[in-house]
Amino acid sequence: MKYICPLMCVNDLKRARYFYEKILKMKVKHDFGENITYEGDFAIHHAAHFQSLIEGKNINYGGNDAELYFEEDEPDALREQLIQHSISFVHDIKEQPWRQKVMRFYDPDRHIIEVGESMSHLCLRLKNEGHDNEAIANTTGLPKATVDQMLAAF
């Protein structure tokens, strides 16, 4: 067996496509009409069509039980765009205990989207704050060798 991707049902395919393609800048990998797969390997599926495939069973939204995770090293510009589009936030940009900056918000169908800075960007930010590689490893939970490798790329 091979895992392929998560699939999320959406009520309004046009609205969902606008959100993922125009606001989050996702690129379409496959367009099957009722089902769209994006680069990064997640898919959206028109709920009415999907419901017909699962023999009419109910589709429930807004359970706050899962999220899609993306990385963006400069989240402030995205945050402003989300605000301009009246996107509802789970929480604004904040630091996790390991110092990674993240924000969580809802897509139009109340699926949670998390956007966090990449761990390599976090390491660089901590280095620029004056922390040595050992301290960065201790803060982030990354192995020191990984921190060394990430920082060497800059």
Alpha carbon distances (Å) from 85 to 12, 24, 98, 105: 16, 12, 30, 12
Tell me the pLDDT of the chain averaged across its residues.
96
Q: What residue type is 152 in one-letter code?
A: A
Query: What pLDDT, on a 0 to 100 scale, did the predictor assign at position 142?
Result: 97
Angstrom distance (rounded) from CA 29 to CA 25: 13
Query: What pLDDT, on a 0 to 100 scale, did the predictor assign at position 65?
Result: 86
Q: 50 is written with which tokens?
A: 């999907």
What is the pLDDT confidence band of residue 74, given thresholds at 50, 70 and 90?
Answer: confident
Instruction: Please state, as a whole number, how many other Cβ atoms lie within 10 Å of the Cβ of residue 68.
Output: 18
C-beta of residue 16 within 8 angstroms of C-beta of residue 10: yes
Question: What is the average pLDDT across 69-76?
Answer: 93
Q: 98 is written with which tokens?
A: 């390991």
Query: Each residue of 88-112: pLDDT tens digit?
Result: 999 999 999 999 999 999 999 999 9
- DSSP-derived 3-state class of residue 71: strand
Is residue 27 predicted with pLDDT exceeding 90? yes
Measured in Å, how far apart are the chain's first and last C-alpha atoms? 38
- DSSP-derived 3-state class of residue 139: helix
In the chain, what percentage of residues exceed pLDDT 70?
100
Q: What residue type is 98 in one-letter code?
A: W
